[in-house]
Amino acid sequence: MMAKAKKARTIGELKASGYKPVAIKEELRRNLLAALKKKEDIFPGIIGYEDTVIPQIENAIISGQDIIFLGERGQAKSRIMRQLVSLLNEEIPVIQGCEINDDPLNPICRQCRDRIARDGDNTPVEWLPREERYSEKLATPDISIADLIGDVDPIKVAEGRYLSDELAIHYGLIPRTNRGIFCINELPDLAERLQVGLFNLMEERDIQIRGYRIRLPLDIFLVASANPEDYTNRGRIITPLKDRFGAQARTHYPTDISEEIVIMDMERRRPADDGIESYVPDYMKEIIAEITHQGRKSPDINQRSGVSVRISIANYETILSNAIRRAVLLGEKMAVPRITDLPHIHSSTASKIEMEGFEEAREGKIINDLIRKGCQNVFNRHYRIGELEELVGQFSGGFSVEVSDMMPAKTYVRNAKEIIGLLEAVKKVSDSERPEMIASAMEFVLEGLHLNKRLNKARQDGKTIYRS
């Protein structure tokens, strides 16, 4: 039936094809159920929500309920909302030239009704693709009723129409998304008068423009996002609007280190091929993810503002960037991040978290503490200190090792050969013979021993020295 309907170019042809109008929520429901039957991945790239958030969304769509996503920043709320478009039909018929995507068999705007009364079945039809049925607006203080709902068009009034005439309206973003999905990000940031206009549209299906009430039964699936702190009667949301949303989906940060790593790998920027080979060892990925997870537990960081996955992604990019910079400066063939690259994540971490206090010096200490905890936790997952007693004993005999983020990898290899047990310890996390890989693993082992109080660590002339 759909193949025939696509060929229709007039209302008459559309009727002959057997086309029947379907409301947006019913359309979403049917397509979701069909996708579930086929075991399709409805939200590709969304990690860690399979048993928590996604079932809530699916239940809301099956129930035909508008959805509000509650969660801190960096919890994929906007990404999920944009992916809802995949549950729409590939295209739908609309009356050609209609500002609000009127259904040819069930028009709601005055202009289309008049046009059909005049042209009947010869009224032209066009097809609207699913991508054009989604609109999104970030709630900001400068948004007006005219932006969202509409306003009287002074030019149309000057042409002789009355202010109360529906044909005098210039439609806003919501009516122009009729028969589609409309999303508002950070809903509580909308001014109260705009929230009133919104819930009136959701429940009573009418709009008021400059004191004139106009019946406009829009067919819209409304989705919004908000921070939980703001979405309360003590926050910036009015209770009648909160009551209009049928479903509330609570998002969350990755609960597992492995999920955070998958997201980091998936979301990090991949520059064009510049001829530099790079590799990030698993333990370095774990450290970056662990630092973020420690940040989500820290009492020194404002948890209401959240510790976003974007911190993990940015820190991943930062340590890899410094490794690439090192490879270029030293003429090495491979860029592999090391523990000595971690201090560089201060810039990419501090810009994305809010401290509970305002002491600038304290900020650096807090981030350093997160780095230390991250390194120690990951090291202790890979090693048992008792297995490294022979290695520690070498340092008791007077050995020391210098490291730095700009030390050539071959220097590490020479030093490792002089210390019994160090290369064996390195092989537990890396079996590569590449100098750059050995250098990275050496730093991981040495730092882990230091954090477990088996080695001392000192800074001297821009280098770090590990000794007994």
Concatenated DSSP letters for 426-453?
HHTT-----HHHHHHHHHHHHHHHHHTT
For the chain, how far is it from start to end, CA to CA, in angstroms? 79
**pLDDT value of residue 155:** 64
User: Which residue bears the tokens 């047990």?
Assistant: 421
Distance CA 26, CA 6 (A): 20
Using CA atoms, how far apart are residues 159 and 156, in angstroms rounded to an integer?
5
Total number of domains in the chain: 2
The predicted model gives 401-426 an average pLDDT of 92
Q: What is the DSSP letter of 142?
A: T
pLDDT at residue 212 greater than cutoff 80: no
Residue 165 in this model has a pLDDT that exceeds 70: no
As a whole number, mean pLDDT of residues 223-241 equals 78
What is the tens place of the pLDDT at every residue in 38-72? 999 999 999 999 999 999 999 999 999 999 999 99
20 and 139 in a common domain: yes
List Cα–Cα distances, 70 to 20, 73, 136, 139, 189, in angstroms: 36, 10, 17, 15, 14
- In this prediction, residue 107 carries a pLDDT of 92
Give the domain-ending residue among 198, 215, 250.
Answer: 250
How high is the pLDDT of residue 110? 83
Is residue 137 a contact partner of residue 183, using CB atoms and an 8 Å limit?
yes
Residues 45, 102, single domain; the answer is yes
* Residue 307 to residue 192: CA distance in whole angstroms: 29
Pair (241, 277) in one structural domain:
no
Asked whether residue 285 falls in the same domain as residue 225, the answer is no
Average pLDDT over residues 248-256: 94
5 confidence band (pLDDT: 50, 70, 90):
very low
For residues 221 and 365, membership in a common domain is answered with no
Same-domain check for residues 134 and 91: yes
User: In this predicted structure, which of 167-181, 331-345, 348-362 has the lowest mean pLDDT?
Assistant: 348-362
Q: What is the pLDDT of residue 2?
A: 42
Predicted local confidence at residue 360, as pLDDT: 60
Residue 179 pLDDT > 90: yes
Asked if residue 266 and residue 242 are part of one domain, the reply reads no
Distance of CA 264 to the CA centre of its chain: 11
Q: What is the DSSP letter of 168?
A: G
The answer, yes or no, to whether residue 36 has pLDDT greater than 90, is yes
Q: Express each pLDDT in 128-156 by its tens digit.
A: 999 999 999 998 888 888 888 877 666 66
Minimum mean pLDDT range among 94-103, 271-280, 295-304: 271-280
Band the pLDDT of 160: cuts 50, 70, 90. low
Residues 193 and 322 placed together within one structural domain of the fold:
no
Q: What percent of the chain has pLDDT over 90?
A: 63
CA 291 to mean position of chain CA atoms: 19
Statement to judge: residues 239 and 125 lie in one domain? yes
Range of the domain at 337: 257-467
Are both 228 and 261 inside the same structural domain? no
**Closest residue by Cα to residue 322 from 297, 339, 305, 301:** 339
Beta bridge partners of 212: 209
Torsion of Cα atoms, 14 then 17 then 22 then 26, to 10°: -150
Is 105's pLDDT higher than 70?
A: yes
User: Rounded mean pLDDT of 310-323?
Assistant: 96
pLDDT higher at 160 or 402: 402
66-102: per-residue pLDDT in tens?
999 999 988 999 999 999 999 999 999 999 999 999 9
Cα torsion 187, 191, 192, 194: sign: negative
Question: What's the burial of 1, exposed, middle or buried (CB within 10 Å: 0-12/13-18/19+)?
Answer: exposed
Cα–Cα distance, 238 to 231 (Å, whole number): 9
Domain boundary among 250, 280, 308: 250
Give Cα 24 distance to the centre of its chain: 25
Q: Are 298 and 286 within 8 A, CB to CB?
A: no
Least confident of 99-103, 120-124, 273-277, 328-332: 273-277
Q: What is the pLDDT of residue 193?
A: 79
Average pLDDT of the residues in 259-271: 91
Q: 4: pLDDT confidence band, cut at 50, 70 and 90?
A: very low
Across residues 180-200, what is the average pLDDT?
A: 85
Q: Is the pLDDT of residue 273 over 80?
A: no
Assess whether 240 and 327 both reside in one domain.
no
Residue 332 pLDDT > 90: yes
- The mean pLDDT value for 196-202 works out to 73
Mean pLDDT of the chain: 88
Distance of CA 141 to the CA centre of its chain: 23
> Given 186, 221, 250, which residue is the final one in a domain?
250
Closest C-alpha among 167, 166, 188, 175 to residue 146: 175
pLDDT at 1 over 50: no
Residues 6+ apart with CB under 8 A from 134: 82, 84, 85, 88, 177, 180, 181, 182, 183
CB–CB of 87/57 below 8 Å? no
Please indicate, yes or no, whether residues 311 and 457 belong to a single structural domain of this protein. yes
- For residue 99, the domain's CATH number is 3.40.50.300
